Amino acid sequence: MSSRLRPPQHRVSPRAVPMWTLQSAVGNVVIVAVLGVAAWGAMTVGWSWIPGWVGDNAWWAPVVFAVFGVVETAVVPRFRYRVHRWEVTEDVIYTRKGWIGREWQLVPITRIQTVDHTQGWMERMFRVATLEVQTASHAGSSTIEGLDVDRAREISEDLAVRAGDLQDDAT
Protein backbone atom coordinates (compact mmCIF):
# COMPACT_ATOMS: atom_id res chain seq x y z
CA MET A 1 0.00 0.00 0.00
CA SER A 2 1.46 3.38 -0.95
CA SER A 3 0.50 6.64 0.65
CA ARG A 4 0.58 9.84 -1.34
CA LEU A 5 2.11 13.08 -0.17
CA ARG A 6 -0.77 15.52 0.16
CA PRO A 7 -0.50 19.30 0.34
CA PRO A 8 -0.31 20.72 3.87
CA GLN A 9 -3.67 22.07 5.07
CA HIS A 10 -3.02 25.71 5.92
CA ARG A 11 -2.10 28.73 3.85
CA VAL A 12 -0.07 31.59 5.22
CA SER A 13 -1.81 34.84 6.18
CA PRO A 14 -3.37 36.79 3.28
CA ARG A 15 -1.50 39.83 4.69
CA ALA A 16 1.71 38.19 3.45
CA VAL A 17 0.75 39.02 -0.16
CA PRO A 18 0.94 42.83 0.19
CA MET A 19 4.12 42.45 2.27
CA TRP A 20 5.80 40.29 -0.39
CA THR A 21 4.57 42.76 -3.03
CA LEU A 22 6.13 45.69 -1.17
CA GLN A 23 9.39 43.76 -0.62
CA SER A 24 9.56 42.96 -4.32
CA ALA A 25 8.74 46.53 -5.36
CA VAL A 26 11.38 48.05 -3.07
CA GLY A 27 14.03 45.60 -4.25
CA ASN A 28 13.21 46.16 -7.90
CA VAL A 29 13.23 49.97 -7.53
CA VAL A 30 16.70 49.80 -5.97
CA ILE A 31 18.01 47.59 -8.78
CA VAL A 32 16.48 49.82 -11.49
CA ALA A 33 18.03 52.88 -9.82
CA VAL A 34 21.48 51.26 -9.74
CA LEU A 35 21.14 50.14 -13.36
CA GLY A 36 19.94 53.64 -14.31
CA VAL A 37 22.98 55.28 -12.70
CA ALA A 38 25.29 52.77 -14.40
CA ALA A 39 23.59 53.35 -17.78
CA TRP A 40 23.81 57.11 -17.33
CA GLY A 41 27.51 56.77 -16.54
CA ALA A 42 28.12 54.51 -19.54
CA MET A 43 26.32 56.92 -21.89
CA THR A 44 27.52 60.29 -20.62
CA VAL A 45 30.92 59.75 -19.07
CA GLY A 46 32.03 57.52 -21.90
CA TRP A 47 33.97 54.90 -20.00
CA SER A 48 36.82 53.81 -22.25
CA TRP A 49 36.96 50.30 -20.87
CA ILE A 50 33.56 49.30 -22.29
CA PRO A 51 32.80 48.83 -25.99
CA GLY A 52 31.03 51.75 -27.67
CA TRP A 53 27.91 49.74 -28.56
CA VAL A 54 27.42 48.88 -24.87
CA GLY A 55 27.53 52.55 -23.86
CA ASP A 56 25.16 53.50 -26.67
CA ASN A 57 22.59 50.87 -25.64
CA ALA A 58 23.07 50.95 -21.86
CA TRP A 59 19.68 52.58 -21.33
CA TRP A 60 18.05 49.26 -22.27
CA ALA A 61 19.24 47.58 -19.05
CA PRO A 62 17.12 49.61 -16.58
CA VAL A 63 14.14 49.65 -18.98
CA VAL A 64 14.15 45.87 -19.47
CA PHE A 65 14.66 45.22 -15.77
CA ALA A 66 11.88 47.68 -14.87
CA VAL A 67 9.43 45.78 -17.11
CA PHE A 68 10.57 42.49 -15.56
CA GLY A 69 10.25 44.02 -12.07
CA VAL A 70 6.68 45.17 -12.65
CA VAL A 71 5.64 41.71 -13.87
CA GLU A 72 7.53 39.97 -11.06
CA THR A 73 6.02 42.28 -8.43
CA ALA A 74 2.50 41.71 -9.75
CA VAL A 75 2.70 37.93 -10.22
CA VAL A 76 5.11 36.28 -7.77
CA PRO A 77 3.55 37.27 -4.40
CA ARG A 78 0.13 35.99 -5.47
CA PHE A 79 1.53 32.75 -6.83
CA ARG A 80 3.65 32.34 -3.71
CA TYR A 81 0.52 32.67 -1.57
CA ARG A 82 -1.19 29.92 -3.54
CA VAL A 83 1.77 27.54 -3.19
CA HIS A 84 3.16 28.14 0.32
CA ARG A 85 1.40 25.92 2.85
CA TRP A 86 2.07 24.51 6.27
CA GLU A 87 0.64 22.09 8.81
CA VAL A 88 1.55 20.91 12.30
CA THR A 89 0.32 17.43 13.20
CA GLU A 90 0.83 15.33 16.33
CA ASP A 91 4.31 14.24 15.29
CA VAL A 92 5.50 16.34 12.33
CA ILE A 93 5.77 19.86 10.93
CA TYR A 94 4.98 19.79 7.26
CA THR A 95 5.76 22.65 4.84
CA ARG A 96 5.58 23.23 1.11
CA LYS A 97 7.10 26.19 -0.68
CA GLY A 98 8.71 27.11 -3.95
CA TRP A 99 8.02 29.20 -6.98
CA ILE A 100 9.52 27.28 -9.87
CA GLY A 101 10.83 24.27 -7.96
CA ARG A 102 8.79 22.86 -5.07
CA GLU A 103 10.24 22.04 -1.68
CA TRP A 104 8.31 19.71 0.61
CA GLN A 105 9.72 19.36 4.09
CA LEU A 106 8.68 17.10 6.96
CA VAL A 107 10.29 17.79 10.33
CA PRO A 108 9.62 15.27 13.12
CA ILE A 109 8.74 17.03 16.37
CA THR A 110 11.11 14.68 18.19
CA ARG A 111 14.02 16.24 16.24
CA ILE A 112 13.27 19.88 17.12
CA GLN A 113 16.09 21.70 18.91
CA THR A 114 14.87 25.30 18.75
CA VAL A 115 11.76 27.15 17.66
CA ASP A 116 12.20 30.79 16.65
CA HIS A 117 9.40 33.27 16.07
CA THR A 118 10.74 36.44 14.38
CA GLN A 119 9.41 39.64 12.85
CA GLY A 120 11.31 42.06 10.68
CA TRP A 121 10.23 45.69 10.41
CA MET A 122 8.16 45.04 7.30
CA GLU A 123 6.55 41.97 8.88
CA ARG A 124 5.53 44.12 11.85
CA MET A 125 3.87 46.59 9.46
CA PHE A 126 1.70 43.80 8.05
CA ARG A 127 1.24 41.88 11.33
CA VAL A 128 2.85 38.68 10.06
CA ALA A 129 5.80 36.67 11.37
CA THR A 130 8.27 33.96 10.41
CA LEU A 131 8.46 30.68 12.29
CA GLU A 132 11.76 28.80 12.07
CA VAL A 133 12.11 25.29 13.46
CA GLN A 134 15.72 24.11 13.74
CA THR A 135 16.93 20.56 14.04
CA ALA A 136 20.33 18.90 14.30
CA SER A 137 19.94 17.64 10.75
CA HIS A 138 22.28 18.74 7.98
CA ALA A 139 19.16 19.91 6.14
CA GLY A 140 18.91 22.66 8.73
CA SER A 141 15.53 24.04 9.52
CA SER A 142 11.98 24.43 8.35
CA THR A 143 10.76 27.99 7.84
CA ILE A 144 7.20 29.23 7.52
CA GLU A 145 7.09 32.85 6.34
CA GLY A 146 4.01 35.03 6.38
CA LEU A 147 2.12 33.52 9.30
CA ASP A 148 -0.35 35.64 11.21
CA VAL A 149 1.63 37.01 14.17
CA ASP A 150 -0.70 35.56 16.83
CA ARG A 151 -0.81 32.17 15.10
CA ALA A 152 3.00 32.09 14.84
CA ARG A 153 3.29 32.82 18.56
CA GLU A 154 0.80 30.05 19.43
CA ILE A 155 2.57 27.52 17.22
CA SER A 156 6.04 28.40 18.53
CA GLU A 157 4.91 28.09 22.16
CA ASP A 158 3.10 24.82 21.47
CA LEU A 159 6.04 23.30 19.59
CA ALA A 160 8.53 24.36 22.26
CA VAL A 161 6.44 22.67 24.96
CA ARG A 162 5.84 19.53 22.88
CA ALA A 163 9.50 19.20 21.87
CA GLY A 164 10.57 19.69 25.51
CA ASP A 165 8.12 17.04 26.71
CA LEU A 166 9.30 14.56 24.08
CA GLN A 167 12.97 15.16 24.91
CA ASP A 168 12.25 14.70 28.63
CA ASP A 169 10.56 11.37 27.84
CA ALA A 170 13.58 10.19 25.83
CA THR A 171 16.05 10.52 28.70
pLDDT tens-digit map of 111-159: 888 889 899 999 999 999 999 998 877 766 888 999 999 999 999 999 8
- Where does residue 42 fall: left (phi above 0), alpha (psi -120 to 50 degrees), or beta otherwise? alpha
Specify the higher pLDDT residue, 54 or 71: 71
Name which of 103, 80, 106 is nearest 91 in CA terms. Answer: 106
Q: Indicate the pLDDT class of residue 171, thresholds 50, 70 and 90.
A: very low
HSE-CB of 25 using CA atoms within 13 angstroms = 8
**How confident is the model at residue 7, as a pLDDT?**
81
| Window from 4-18, 22-36, 73-87 with minimum mean pLDDT | 4-18
Q: Could you tell me the end-to-end alpha-carbon distance of the chain, in angstroms, rounded to an integer?
A: 35
**How confident is the model at residue 98, as a pLDDT?**
85
In angstroms, the CA 96 to CA 66 distance is: 30
Domain range summary for the chain, segments of one domain joined by +: 11-81, 85-170
| % of the chain residues with pLDDT over 90 | 51
Q: Indicate the pLDDT class of residue 77, thresholds 50, 70 and 90.
A: very high
Q: Indicate the pLDDT class of residue 162, thresholds 50, 70 and 90.
A: confident
pTM: 0.83
Q: Indicate the pLDDT class of residue 29, thresholds 50, 70 and 90.
A: very high
**How confident is the model at residue 147, as a pLDDT?**
95
Pick the CATH number of 85-170 from 3.30.70.100, 3.40.50.720, 3.40.50.620, 2.30.29.30: 2.30.29.30
Asked if the model's pLDDT at residue 51 lies above 70, the reply is: yes
